[in-house]
A = this chain, B = another copy of it.
Amino acid sequence: MMSSEKIDTRTRILVAALGLLVDGKGSQVRMADIAKRAGISRQAVYLHFTTRADLLIAATKHVDDIKNIDGKLARSRKAKTGVERLDAFIDAWGNYIPEIYNIARALIAMSDADVEAAEAWENRTKAVREGCEAAVTALKLDGTLSPDYSISQATDVLWMLLSVQNWEQLTKESGWSQKRYIKEMKLITRKTLITKVSD
């Protein structure tokens, strides 16, 4: 029986889909392409996933498992001060974005056609928002959160700043390196969210 060697067809499909999404033309990946890459018939894909959206959603979950985003985010929660925690969160999430960027694009593209896809993507962004809120709350507890904002408002702002679209714009349109993106985001969030330390 061999526990390894023969990989689950379902995961082979997921891997194929991810492969195409990564080096492919974003949301233009068709069911037939995925099947071909997985080495099975197009129809067989439907034996494992009821719709394209279903498959895409499963693909993002699969990436989460492999890359262990939860673990990375958890580590950011251990930081002592609020500012350190903010930085750690930006490190964790900001460096995760490139990993899921292509799938994100596909999911976002499907979102206005497919409710399921929209919900899947919303779940993910909501999770990020929670991370933002936790970081903001830590700032508040330290007394370093800017008096301009309530926790909820500051969360809105941080969430906006750390959106996939902003990452996309800065790195893809403006040509920023990943390293620079992280560095500048830390700076911008400091400037906007953290109170002026004058003593």
A positions within 8 Å CB-CB of B: 25-28, 105, 109, 112-113, 125, 148, 153, 156-157, 159-160, 163, 165-166, 169-170, 173-174, 176, 184, 187-188, 191-192
Q: How far apart are the CA atoms of A109 and B117 in the complex, in Å?
A: 14
Q: Using Cβ atoms and an 8 Å threshold, which residues of chain B touch A174? A: 156, 159-160
The contact sample of 21 A-B pairs, CB cut-off 8 A, is A26-B112, A27-B112, A27-B113, A28-B112, A105-B112, A109-B112, A148-B187, A153-B184, A156-B170, A156-B174, A157-B184, A159-B169, A160-B166, A163-B166, A163-B169, A165-B166, A165-B169, A166-B166, A188-B192, A191-B191, A192-B192
Query: For residue A28, which residues in chain B have a CB less than 8 angstroms away from its CB?
Result: 112-113
Instruction: Give the number of copies in the complex.
Output: 2
- A25-B112, A191-B191 are known; give 10 further A-B pairs, CB within 8 A: A109-B109, A109-B112, A148-B187, A159-B174, A160-B170, A163-B165, A163-B166, A165-B165, A165-B166, A188-B192
Chain A interface main SS type: helix
User: Distance (Å) between the CB of A199 and the closest chain B CB?
Assistant: 15
Closest 9 CB pairs of A and B: A165-B165, A156-B174, A26-B112, A191-B191, A191-B192, A27-B112, A160-B169, A160-B166, A188-B192
CB neighbours (8 Å) of A113 from chain B are 27-28
Compute how far the CA of A176 lies from the CA of B165 in the bound complex, rounded to whole angstroms. Answer: 19
Smallest beta-carbon distance A149→chain B, Å: 9
Question: How many angstroms from the CA of A166 to the CA of B191 in the assembled complex?
Answer: 18
- A157 partner residues in chain B, CB cutoff 8 A: 184, 188
Question: For residue A109, which residues in chain B have a CB less than 8 angstroms away from its CB?
Answer: 109, 112
* Minimal Cβ-Cβ distance residue in B for A146: B191
Q: Return the chain B residue nearest A155 by Cβ.
A: B174
